Amino acid sequence: MLWQAMASMRDLGRLHEIASILIRYGFGDLVRRLGLATPLEKAGRALHWRDAEALAHLPPASRARRILEELGPTFIKLGQVLATRVDLFDQEWIDEFSKLLDRAPAVPYTEIRHQLIEDLGAPPEEIFAEFDPVPMAAASIGQVHRARLADGTRVVVKVRRPGIRPTIEADLRWLAKLAELAESEHSELASFHPAEVVRQLAQSLRRELDYTNECRNAERIATRFADYADQDDSSTGDPGEPPIIVIPRVHWQWVAERVCVQEFIDGTPGRDLAAVDKAGLDRRLLARRGARAVLKMIVEDGFFHADPHPGNIFYLPGNRIAFIDFGMMGRLTEERRDQLIRLLVGLVRDDPSLVAEVLMDWTGGGPVDEAGLILEIQAFVDQYHGVPLKQLNLGAMLSDLVNLLRQHRLSLPVDLALLIKAFISLEGMGHELDPDFDMVGEAMPMVEKAMRRRYTPKAVLRRTWKTAGEALTLLAGLPNDLSRLLRAARRGRLEIHIDVTHLRRVGNQLDRAANRITIGIVVAALIIGSSIVMTVPGGPKLFGLPFFGLLGFLIASIGGIWLLISIWRTRKEE
């Protein structure tokens, strides 16, 4: 099946490399079960099944992480996407996926200079007063060079690796086919929703490949923080005051799909806590300001940095914070934010039915033991009901919630998976800066404010008007819909489409059986026809026998052998 699904022969080289790495790390059985070996064997490419390394001492999660690192940029990004799916994987796997660092050897400047000239419109030496050909950092998709503009402004130039897109697109093509195969053929893998994960990966990667997306995200976040003033401290948000939250400025005249120029952030890296102390910065204030900034993005704006780990944060003098790398962003619609508020209301009011209703909305209402789910939600609500806010561990609460969903084979939408991952990362970073950091205490004032806004007369009237408008639109279109339905029924053209995943497998089996029957009939016809030809005098001879009769028997023998081998292989697979 995978052989038929391959888009073209050009992907076989990459498939061979992937299968070899999986075998070397002890996942040869997975290669066989997913059918990766079949297309390679048919193409004459040998797989070395006995070359597996002695890695049995490593846990499966560690081996999976090492495989992703070795497979390159697409799979490193896949691991980073999987690290956000706390609803699908245990914490052991999430921790391993979170260790994936997007690092790679730098591309020599001589190899990227021509691409830079094409994208910038002139050689870098003519555009920038200074340009460092040695990159300050390199990742799997691109690398970063320091530069200085003519007015003295320090900037960074991000350059995409030459030729990276074809490799990534080839990986995505067969990953999509493999995910479809895994979901339809292996029920134990279907609960991980591989097709959805691959769609999320493809969307994320294609956005990251185009640097204009990252720059638009950065500019949108910068606009939201233009007049931002932090609560409970001395900041006022006045234009003359240095901004608390710094977003690198984008120089749009030098932004294209493969290159972008942004302001250089000269600060203390978020990972270097010793340097934070040496710079005399207030760790407690930094934790509060960082948390409030991300919570503002989530609760008020609905557009947030989905990966707020210390590597994407710099601390500046005056206890200011700079965010970088806006390639992975989360989005929450107003409806989704309303659902979050309803969930919190259900937790506060000890209403497990309301909590279950929200969770079912999130997970798509698939087949689930709703009574059992409500009982477990009741236990979950009782566990945290009445706990003082300062004693509430938000990260542990969210982990318990996703574990509950995982037990019932329910998965979260991508936006909520990113949200929970962002919350957990944010709380962990806050505790690194300040052991007494109170995530719930920082979040609740914003949540309560959002709840009050939800129930203001204006907000209620707006929702009522929206609902009434939708109902009127539905009623207005109902006569036309009924008329079309009745016309189709009268003409005998009423169709009902039922999509059952396993029927596709049955259809493939029927096709295979029909092919075998056809080959069998052709073989029988050849045998009968050749027998008749053998009795006809005249014509060319071979070994004293009619040539065409012998040729017919030979073709029939080949067809019969192929038929027997095909039946034997099918029984072996079953």
The per-residue pLDDT for range 230-262, each reduced to its tens digit, is 655 555 555 557 789 999 999 999 999 999 999
**Confidence class of residue 3 from pLDDT cuts 50, 70 and 90?**
very low
The partner residues of 268 in beta bridges, in order of sequence, read 315
What is the pLDDT at residue 403? 77
For 336, the token pair is 């989704």
Coil, helix or strand at residue 499: coil
CA atoms of 155 and 468, how far apart (whole Å):
52
- Look at residue 31 and tell me whether its pLDDT is greater than 70: no
**Confidence class of residue 499 from pLDDT cuts 50, 70 and 90?**
low
What is the pLDDT at residue 164? 87
Instruction: Delimit the domains of the chain by residue range.
Output: 2-102+185-195, 105-138+141-184+196-264, 270-451, 456-496, 501-573
CA atoms of 352 and 88, how far apart (whole Å):
23
Output 538 or 421, whichever has higher pLDDT: 421
- Look at residue 43 and tell me whether its pLDDT is greater than 60: no
Give pLDDT tens digits for 139-181.
Answer: 878 899 999 999 999 999 999 999 888 888 888 887 887 787 7
* In contact, 76 and 109? CB cutoff 8 Å: no
Output 171 or 535, whichever has higher pLDDT: 171
Give pLDDT tens digits for 61-76.
Answer: 888 888 888 887 788 8
Q: In this predicted structure, which of 216-225, 229-238, 561-570 has the lowest mean pLDDT?
A: 229-238
CA atoms of 330 and 323, how far apart (whole Å):
15
Q: Average pLDDT in the 98-114 region?
A: 82
What is the pLDDT at residue 212? 94
For the four alpha carbons of 385, 387, 390 and 396, in that order, the dihedral sign comes to negative
Strands 541-542, 320-323: pairing kind: unpaired
What is the pLDDT at residue 7? 45
- Over the chain, what is the mean pLDDT? 78
Q: Average pLDDT in the 90-110 region?
A: 80
Angle between helices 73-82 and 194-209 (to 10 degrees): 120
Exposed, middle or buried: residue 444 (CB in 10 Å: 0-12, 13-18, 19+)? middle
Q: Is 307 assigned a catalytic role?
A: yes
Name the nearest CA neighbour of 309 among 324, 292, 293, 288.
Answer: 324
* In contact, 422 and 308? CB cutoff 8 Å: yes
Give pLDDT tens digits for 203-216.
Answer: 888 888 899 999 99
- Look at residue 273 and tell me whether its pLDDT is greater than 70: yes
What is the pLDDT at residue 233? 55
What is the pLDDT at residue 63? 83
* In contact, 341 and 454? CB cutoff 8 Å: yes
List 102, 307, 325, 438, catalytic entry: 307
What is the pLDDT at residue 198? 83
Output 376 or 563, whichever has higher pLDDT: 376
What is the pLDDT at residue 357? 79
